[in-house]
Amino acid sequence: MILVYDYMARGTLADHLYNNENPPLSWEQRLQICIGAARGLSYLHTGAKGTIIHRDVKGTNILLDEKWAAKVSDFGLSKMGTTNTSKTHISTMVKGSFGYLDPEYYRRQRLTEKSDVYSFGVVLCEVLCARPAVMHTVELKQMNLAEWARNCHRDGELDQIIDPSIRGKIEIQCLNQFVEIAMSCMNDSGIERPSMNDVVKALELALQLHRNCIERNKEVVSVNDSAAEIRSAEPGCATDESIQCISETIFSEINDPNGR
């Protein structure tokens, strides 16, 4: 049997996260790639005739085409889900990649689509941190990315794990939304994890929050430019009071954009 795949010109997601030969991805690119991969997994879980569990979701198994569209690949470990409505899992030998493996699946040898959700949560951490799921060259508490990310989230130290190339470039609401998605995916209990369809919707909201922030910044820059033009005009064309009014308007819009 011969398998034919589309040529994915940009390689894997991992190639662009922690391969120094490639320029770092922008935050918006990362969000769009995550959404594309999440949609692919959601289709596997609910869009086909039967549930397909990938079992090896990781950064190296997410391929990117020339337009940065993400596609989930490598179905060598995939498993068909149960067709019996009275069964919620498949009993099977544990397989997967270290660092991405669902701890509940590892302990109980019971496979569900929520095992893919856990692995995808680790991928989201990879995207935020730009490092592999497991590293042996760092101190012990940082070796396992999922555990380190959870600890930093619990202790309010998220800035420690964010990729330096995007640190300070993520709007706080967007960051909080993204991190909450990742943490919910990595919940120890499978039934507490969201479905991949819910993950898609949550990531789309994160992207919208990011774009809203960009638009607000553009509006502020535009108004600031207008204020600068007024200052450079002839004396008497604009008073200090009118310029102060413009500044106050800008400030009020930043603090309460929904009030406009």
* pLDDT tens digits for range 35-81: 999 999 999 999 877 889 999 999 999 999 999 999 999 988 888 87
Clarify whether 256 is annotated catalytic.
Answer: no
List all residues 6 or more positions away from 65 whose beta carbon is below 8 Å from its beta carbon: 6, 7, 8, 9, 10, 71
In this structure, which amino acid lies at residue 149?
A
Give me 155's structure tokens: 């202790």
Whole-angstrom Cα distance, residue 146 to residue 100? Answer: 8
Q: Could you tell me which of 130, 90, 92, 119 has the C-alpha nearest to residue 186? A: 119
List all residues 6 or more positions away from 172 whose beta carbon is below 8 Å from its beta carbon: none
Marked catalytic residue, from 56, 102, 116, 163:
56
Placement of tokens 């879980």 in the chain: 45
The dihedral built from the CA positions of residue 157, 163, 168 and 172, taken in this order, carries a sign that is: negative
Q: What is the pLDDT of residue 253?
A: 47
Q: What is the pLDDT of residue 219?
A: 75
CATH class of 13-212: mainly alpha
Give me 251's structure tokens: 């400030």
Q: CA–CA distance from 104 to each of 56, 61, 71, 121, 145 (Å)?
A: 15, 22, 26, 14, 17
pTM: 0.81
Q: What is the pLDDT of residue 6?
A: 77
Inter-axis angle of helices 172-185 and 196-231, to 10 degrees?
Answer: 170
- Strands (E) located in 25-135: 52-53, 62-64, 70-72, 79-80, 90-91, 110-111
Placement of tokens 């009071």 in the chain: 241
Whole-angstrom Cα distance, residue 118 to residue 83? Answer: 22
What is the SS3 assignment for 100?
coil
Residues of the chain predicted below pLDDT 50: 84-88, 237-239, 241-255, 259-260
